[in-house]
Structure 1
């Protein structure tokens, strides 16, 4: 059984870059990118998700051959399809075309087989908050780790479901925009401390190409981790890959700052690739080399 599982959504993506390239019917989704990020560090990673009736079986065979254990549920709905346009400056607009919705395509806790409930770590990628809360309650144990990335479309300050989640999860991993919505202001350092005070031992706020801001509640450390400068092919899924790498790092080291370094390395491989299935599983030596170089750049504040 894998030590780590990822829960989330599969998508089929059409991606267009301003003045550059276009790719059609690319397999994607937060569950796939998060799993790829964790796979950078672990030999085997599990995926728990719903699949639409039109999701290609060929993609699943590729996953099974690449070190992923699949705990999937087919539902009689079209899969989520997205259309993404990256404008100059990396702005993105995503439209969901004729497709399933996030509620339809998010796995429910009762659909998870008992054989997948004994792992050491679970990452919940972006899904509706009420579904995430049910999953957190079902999967969290005193002896495992649970991390969560909220969904920007379901966030607002004072949300009871989010407050319940923060009391349970070990790691909270929002983007800057998600942190702003949940905290009520665009002040990442304050937001990170506030979220940690509600329960999580680690909070990492993703800052896109600026890196991430990590708060380690136990050590009262606030750490800025820069992004790694690599040749960018496609930034889709980088935040999800960061989350998967972060939880893998927590599992392997127990240190939130180290976990952020692991996540950043995972994200760097994702932006170099096209599509989640194109993410290269880098040799361990190369990953360790990036990790060591990145570690030398972090700055720590004690608070």
Structure 2
């Protein structure tokens, strides 16, 4: 039986090189894993659908995720994670795994029984096919995050169609700039809302600046700060935010509560390098941070 929550995307093995010359080798990564761990901190054991090979370090994930529905391939997507002095980082596919599409799930990988699914950044065609297959299989709640690398070449009509086909549209600020290069985050969300009036929730992730969002039918934008925590590494934070937001929306159907869940999930991600903080997070810890954050945000609003 497929888990009621699922994450579609990539699994990767990350070889990390830090500013001081230290390294971490064979760190379990991938946008699908981070999104699923963003769900798992709330007590779920989501299914991951992403191709991987026998070289992937499954044991390091401590059985927090269901990987039984992942397509098996000879070699896992592998990359270099290079960290810079200014805090930025870049991930470069290693030479044997540079054809990203070969490491992405396809419509044939969709199974019946998934109630809610998140689609992490993937090639555009894979997103379109997966949304159609998931809806046909009975999935009732869909969230999606985009990939900005070729997004500038996608027409606004195509963006609008994809937005209309999902429930939670959760692009990054980089994605927003690829679609609308010269707009502020707030104006980007307004233009995205013009493209798709009926998508229940649109949220533009802005990293350490939190997010700017809009719920359909509302007169006002939602501006939510990031959870107040000392950040060590932001790798995967956007993906974990999406996973938490999906859980929050599925449980409450309240856009603000969904975003609060997303920010709490991301807080576990950024407090350590790799997946460590997420693997150490528990539902009790997540609920405690949620209560704290609700109070903080209410105080800011007042």
User: Residue in 1 aligned with 2:20?
Assistant: 19
Q: Deviations over 1:237-260 (max 9, x none)?
A: 111111111101111111111111
User: Residue in 1 aligned with 2:55?
Assistant: 55
Question: Could you state the TM-score of these two structures normalised by the residue count of structure 1?
Answer: 0.88
Q: Deviations over 1:40-78 (max 9, x none)?
A: 113221101111x4533xx335547224353111234x3
1: CA distance between counterparts of 2:241 and 2:193?
19
2: CA distance between counterparts of 1:225 and 1:86?
27
After TM superposition, give the deviation of residue 20 of structure 1 in Å: 7.0
1: CA distance between counterparts of 2:11 and 2:147?
15
Higher strand share: 1
1: CA distance between counterparts of 2:172 and 2:278?
21
After TM superposition, give the deviation of residue 189 of structure 1 in Å: 1.2
1: CA distance between counterparts of 2:294 and 2:118?
24
Question: Could you state the TM-score of these two structures normalised by the residue count of structure 2?
Answer: 0.88
Indicate yes or no: 2:129 matched with 1:134.
Answer: yes
2: CA distance between counterparts of 1:43 and 1:258?
17
User: Residue in 2 aligned with 1:236?
Assistant: 235
User: Residue in 2 aligned with 1:120?
Assistant: 115
2: CA distance between counterparts of 1:11 and 1:2?
22
Q: Deviations over 1:10-38 (max 9, x none)?
A: 11112233237431211100000000001
What aligned pairs does 1:140-289 form with structure 2 within 5 A after superposition? 140=135, 144-156=140-152, 158-197=155-194, 198=196, 199-276=198-275, 279-289=278-288
Superposed CA RMSD in Å reads 2.3
1:109 to 104, 107, 110: 107
2: CA distance between counterparts of 1:200 and 1:254?
13
2:118 partner SS: strand
1:84 to 81, 84, 94: 81
Q: Which runs of 5+ in 1 are unaligned?
A: none
1:231 partner SS: coil
2:73 to 72, 75, 87: 75
